[in-house]
Amino acid sequence: MKTYWVYILLCSDKSYYTGITNNLELRLEQHQKGIDPKSYTYSRRPLELVWAEPFQNPDKAIAWEKKIKGWSRVKKKALIEKDWDKLRALSICRNNSHSKNQNTQSL
């Protein structure tokens, strides 16, 4: 069974890049060599792998990558640092439209 990796790189400009691959070692090498001048990481080398998680199911790996890409920098940092309490707190929905923030009493 093939392993798929969701990973986060720390770029030289201190930004994070999130990606997915089925060959982590090769993909990291490609990022470091800078194969595509149009890619996000090309001008932000050198890069450091700061987090990676293996998946057996490619659909779950893709879903996780998309989820992480939508996160704030602070939330990604909490994941990298394995700060589960902070990650949990940052995951709480604070939108006014969220059901728990609605006044359910009749006027």
Is residue 71 a part of any domain in this protein? yes
Quick one: the chain helix, strand, coil %, rounded to 5?
Answer: 40, 20, 40
pLDDT, residue 103, reads: 59
Mean pLDDT by 10 residues, the chain (107 residues): 96 98 97 95 97 98 97 96 93 71 52
Is residue 11 a part of any domain in this protein? yes
Name the domain count of the chain: 1
Is residue 103 a part of any domain in this protein? no
- CA dist., res. 84 & res. 94, Å (int): 18
Is residue 63 a part of any domain in this protein? yes
Is residue 101 a part of any domain in this protein? no
Is residue 73 a part of any domain in this protein? yes
**What CATH number is associated with residue 65?**
3.40.1440.10
Domain that holds residue 12: 4-93
